[in-house]
Chain A
Amino acid sequence: MSITQTPVPSEPPSTTQGFMPIRAKAASRPGTWISAVVVAVLALGLLWFLVTNPVLAWGTVATYLLDVKVIQGVGWTLLLTAASMVLGTAVALTAAIMRRSENPVLRGVSWAYIFVFRGIPVYTQLVFWGLFTVIVPKIVIGVPFGPELLSFSTRDLLTAFWAAVIGLGLNEGAYLAEIIRSGLNSVDRGQSEASKALGMSDGTILRRIIVPQAMRVIVPPLGNETIGMLKTTSLVLAVPFTLDLTFATNGIANKLFTPIPLLIVAALWYLAITSVLMVGQYYLEKYFGRGFDARTPTTGRGGRSRQAAVNRAGTTPNDPLPEVEL
């Protein structure tokens, strides 16, 4: 073996650099092959089961996969997901910033919001929002304990769709608030010190320096939460909101007395939407990761000199005269 490893003169030199690259043979990995065979057998078995099982009724699946009601359900589900995530993120960002505030009142309000909305099951919250018009029949704007100026009937304002969005959004906001807070905390303190030293106001520092850097940490769990929200929208029956994907497929299934193929239709659609969301998340991560991942090329040129610069940038690990951190 050792003889064949030494450079063989007959082999042409690969480059003009005057050395012979190692011709390596990979170490054997029998585990890879054994596991491949086991998984292939199991996958084939599963495929056979799926294709031959009459209960799955693939014909019905195909018929209803692009049914108008189903497509409309997909649309409503997407709309619910998007609207409640937008509301949730806005509420969460506010709550997270309030939680970091020096104002104890704002901190307390934020804590209470998270405590209540994270602590109650989302299904219960949705039922509450569905009954909001019963609990609060009208909203009155006026002087407290004095005359009324304006009054609205909540029944006119709060449709089932908005009740669902508010219910889902406020529940989501409580979770996202903690995610965003940890993201904001993950930004190095030196960043806000440097910004302060430049005379930037707290609001500008947050908006221009802290939040954009926190997004890098926030986006992966935010994507996770969006996918979670997509599936949580199947609970809006509690409001009751009756146009989403799960309700649509259930309705068809009940009419046909065949629940299983319609469950497959719903599952396929949820998987499809999730795949699209994953692509979106990839691009968001790439955008907010700019400047952090040196492998992301920002300019087409100078790859080698940049690498050299990055290599040189290694700051001395043992500071000869470290300042005491006070």
Chain B
Amino acid sequence: MTQTPENPVPGTDWTPAAPPRPVIEVEAVHKSFGDLHVLRACDLTVRAGEVAVLVGPSGSGKSTLLRCINQLEEPTAGRVLIDGEVQGFQPDPLPDGRWQKLPSAQIAAQRSRIGMVFQRFHLFPHLTALANVMEAPVQVRGLAKAEAEQKARALLERVGLADRADHYPAELSGGQQQRVAIARALAMDPELMLFDEPTSALDPELVSEVLAVLKDLAADGMTMVVVTHEMGFAREVADQVVFMDEGRILERGTPEQVVDHPGSDRLKGFLASVL
């Protein structure tokens, strides 16, 4: 591994016409679990208001890359910056070249700026939909209950579930649960949102209601990284599509470039299998 946090490789080779500020900068990130090398020198830049869609076969490292962005996984090498701030470490190395890890409270504070939506929703089953959305603002931000409730109701309304506020997750359909999970993440006013295969656990007829919420968010200017197999969504909403295979980013570009004019045989093969 030649790329360490000390000598990061330059960011992405793809830049939009008038680049807004980068929100996410993933620099030469490697991740291995023991002998398993899951991410190899991944670079990714996502600018404010941009939607990046990560595609690739299963096991290609898309989810791991996503989880490195909000520190659910710790990169083995390389670094992640959010709004220019190094994630998980003090901004500068120690005199001996090591990096000082941040205490868990600061890591939690960094995570609280990033919303995440999981494939399997992970709603809190012992709390109602409303309480699920209120939980983090009250517990993390110290918001007053009444204020948090008002906000939570507005968010549930936004994802079309105002009338389901008092239901427990077990009483909701998969699509409804996922929309509550999105509202729960939005309740923290995140600067960016990560979606880890948000529709993969849903029955086919429920996919569109979740994708509609994602499109609505994208149209609102939310910075988003979406791991998905929904190529239609990628083509319609993505500003950049990133194709990963075996832990490497093989291709990236606009949907037209990546989805419609794939360069590599790997991408052609992948697209043939999902389209």
> Any chain B CB within 8 A of the CB of A209?
yes
Contact check, A291 vs B109: say whether CB atoms are below 8 A apart. no
**Bound CA–CA A209/B114 (angstroms):** 20
> Any chain A CB within 8 A of the CB of B112?
yes
> Any chain A CB within 8 A of the CB of B111?
yes
**Shortest beta-carbon distance from B54 to chain A in Å:** 12
Flag B64-94 by CB within 8 Å of A: 1 or 0 each: 1000001010000000000000000000000
> Any chain B CB within 8 A of the CB of A208?
yes
**Bound CA–CA A190/B109 (angstroms):** 19
Task: Give every chain A residue within 8 A of B158 (Cβ-Cβ).
Answer: none
Task: Give every chain B residue within 8 A of A199 (Cβ-Cβ).
Answer: 108-113, 136, 140, 188
> Any chain A CB within 8 A of the CB of B20?
no
Contact check, A198 vs B135: say whether CB atoms are below 8 A apart. yes
Interface size classification for chain B: 35 or more
Task: Give every chain A residue within 8 A of B166 (Cβ-Cβ).
Answer: 298-299
Contact check, B111 vs A196: say whether CB atoms are below 8 A apart. yes
Contact check, A191 vs B122: say whether CB atoms are below 8 A apart. yes
Contact check, A316 vs B72: say whether CB atoms are below 8 A apart. no
> Any chain B CB within 8 A of the CB of A25?
no
Partner of B59, one of A213, A291, A313, A323: A323
Contact check, A291 vs B104: say whether CB atoms are below 8 A apart. no
**Shortest beta-carbon distance from A1 to chain B in Å:** 43
**Shortest beta-carbon distance from A311 to chain B in Å:** 8
Q: Given A298-B167, A309-B172, decide whether A204 and B63 contact each other with a Cβ distance below 8 A.
A: no
**Bound CA–CA A204/B136 (angstroms):** 10
Q: Given A208-B135, A298-B166, A313-B173, decide whether A202 and B126 contact each other with a Cβ distance below 8 A.
A: no
Contact check, A194 vs B118: say whether CB atoms are below 8 A apart. yes
Contact check, A197 vs B72: say whether CB atoms are below 8 A apart. yes
> Any chain B CB within 8 A of the CB of A42?
no
Contact check, B168 vs A316: say whether CB atoms are below 8 A apart. no
Partner of B108, one of A201, A208, A291, A321: A201
**Shortest beta-carbon distance from B59 to chain A in Å:** 4
**Bound CA–CA A188/B124 (angstroms):** 10
Q: Could you list some 28 contacts between A and B, CB below 8 A?
A: A190-B118, A190-B122, A191-B124, A194-B181, A195-B124, A196-B72, A198-B188, A199-B188, A201-B104, A201-B108, A213-B126, A216-B126, A288-B126, A291-B128, A292-B125, A298-B128, A298-B167, A299-B166, A299-B167, A309-B176, A310-B173, A313-B177, A315-B202, A316-B201, A316-B202, A323-B119, A323-B197, A324-B58
